[in-house]
Amino acid sequence: MALDEKKACLCKAFHAGHAVFIDEINTSSELESLLNTLLTGFDEAGKPPKHTGFMLFCTQNPISFAGRRATSLAFMRRVLSYLWPAYSQKEIQEILCARIPHLPREALDILSKKHLSIRELIHLGDEIASTITSSGNRQHEGI
């Protein structure tokens, strides 16, 4: 979706009193100025919403992940935040086992020790499992 379309959707949700969900908010700073304005209770023209109730729910990963940046202090002062603890190695293994049942134990052990997002781990696990399934090869040295 183009930036102008995103802005239009946010303004429409603001005036309708809707909730908006934004995944990985700290991967792009393009909307931050608009979001800061809307979170003060006014649109860019200084008008209050037509209907109350606008809410913003966002997720973000640590800035240690590639492509992430620190969220601005101005934005952080306008929101409530909750820091979820990182998954334990056991939890990561349970997620990978549930998502990729044919993943060999050796690959599971190696993947669960990597410092990657769950999405990246699942993607890598899927690649390993499909390679093993298609070739019969049980080598995982490239992990």
Q: Residue 142 above 70 pLDDT?
A: no
Mean pLDDT calculated for residue range 18-39 = 93
Q: Residue 30 above 80 pLDDT?
A: yes
User: Among 76, 29, 17, 75, which Cα is nearest to 6's?
Assistant: 29
Instruction: Give, for 107, the enclosing helix (H) or strand (E).
Output: helix 105-111
State the pLDDT at residue 109: 87
**End-to-end Cα spacing for the chain:** 34
Reported as a single tens digit per residue, the pLDDT across 102-134 is 888 888 888 888 878 788 888 888 888 888 766
Task: Give the max Cα distance, the chain.
Answer: 63
Inter-residue contact 80 to 71 (CB < 8 Å): no
E strands in the chain: 19-22, 55-58
Reported as a single tens digit per residue, the pLDDT across 57-106 is 999 988 888 889 999 999 999 999 998 888 888 999 999 999 998 888 88
Phi, psi of 58 (to 5 degrees): -135, 155
Q: Write down the pTM of the prediction.
A: 0.67
State the pLDDT at residue 143: 55
State the pLDDT at residue 9: 97
State the pLDDT at residue 20: 97
CA of 52: how far to CAs of 9, 18, 85, in Å?
16, 8, 32
**Rounded to whole angstroms, how far apart are CA atoms 28 and 134?**
38
- For the record, the structure tokens of 69 come out as 């940046």
**Rounded to whole angstroms, how far apart are CA atoms 59 and 68?**
12
